[in-house]
Amino acid sequence: TQLLEQSPQFLSIQEGENLTVYCNSSSVFSSLQWYRQEPGEGPVLLVTVVTGGEVKKLKRLTFQFGDARKDSSLHITAAQPGDTGLYLCAGGTGNQFYFGTGTSLTVIP
C-alpha cells in the first residue's frame, strides 16, 4: 500500500488539451511537492505547497493543496510535447519521505 496514490497512472493526450493529475492520501502532510522526471534523469522539483487550500501557478501548470492537507492536484493547460514525463507528488511525515505512485504523461504533437 502506497501512502500517496496518484491518478491516473498513465495519460496520453493530444497537444493543446488540458489535464489534471491527482495525488491522494489518508495522511496529513505539512507540505507536498511535485516533481517531473524525464527518462535517464532524476526528478526535478516543480513546486512545494505548504498551506491548506493553497494554489500556485507556474506558467501553464496550476498546483492546489487540499484544505485538509491530505491531497493535491496538478492541472496543465494547453499541454505541449515538452510536458511529457513522469509526474510525482511527494511529502514527508514522521521520519520518512514518500513519493507518489507517479503519473506518466505523454503529449502527442
Partner 1 sequence: KAGVTQTPRYLIKTRGQQVTLSCSPISGHRSVSWYQQTPGQGLQFLFEYFSETQRNKGNFPGRFSGRQFSNSRSEMNVSTLELGDSALYLCASSSAPLGYNEQFFGPGTRLTVL
CA 16 to chain centre: 19
- Least Å from the CB of residue 78 to partner 1: 27
Task: Note the residues at the interface with partner 1 (CB under 8 A).
Answer: 2, 30-31, 40-45, 48, 88, 90, 92, 95-102
Residue 3 per-residue DSSP state: S
Pick 1 or 14: Cβ nearer partner 1: 1
Neighbour count for residue 93 (Cβ, 10 Å): 14
- Least Å from the CB of residue 63 to partner 1: 15
Neighbour count for residue 77 (Cβ, 10 Å): 13
Distance CA 81, CA 107 (A): 5
Pick 42 or 109: Cβ nearer partner 1: 42
Pick 2 or 77: Cβ nearer partner 1: 2
